[in-house]
Amino acid sequence: MKDLFGKAILDYQTNNSPEDLITETSISEADEMSVAYLFRDFKDMPKLEQKALQLAKGKVLDVGCGAGSHALYLQEKGFDVTAIDISENAIKACELRGLKNCKVSDVLDLDTSEKFDTILLLMNGTGIFGKMNQISKFLQKLKSLLNEGGQILIDSSDLIYMYDQDEDGAYEVPANGYYGELTFTIQYKGETEDTFDWLYLDYNTLQNASNANGLECELILEGKHFDYLAKLYI
How confident is the model at residue 29, as a pLDDT? 95
Residue 169's pLDDT is 78
Q: pLDDT tens, 165-177?
A: 888 778 888 878 8
Instruction: For residue range 133-160, list pLDDT tens digits in order.
Output: 999 999 999 999 999 999 999 999 999 9
pTM above 0.85, yes or no: yes
What DSSP string describes 87-112? -HHHHHHHHHTT-SSEEE--GGGS-T
| Positions of the chain with pLDDT under 50 | none
Q: In this predicted structure, what is the pLDDT of residue 166? A: 81
pLDDT, position 15: 98
Three-class SS of residue 134?
A: helix
Identify the pLDDT of residue 213: 98
The CA distance from 90 to 21, in Å, is 14
- Count how many Cα atoms sit within 13 Å of the Cα of residue 147 in the half-sphere of its side chain: 13
Helix extents (H) in the chain: 4-13, 47-55, 69-76, 88-96, 135-144, 203-212
Predicted confidence at residue 145, as pLDDT, reads 98
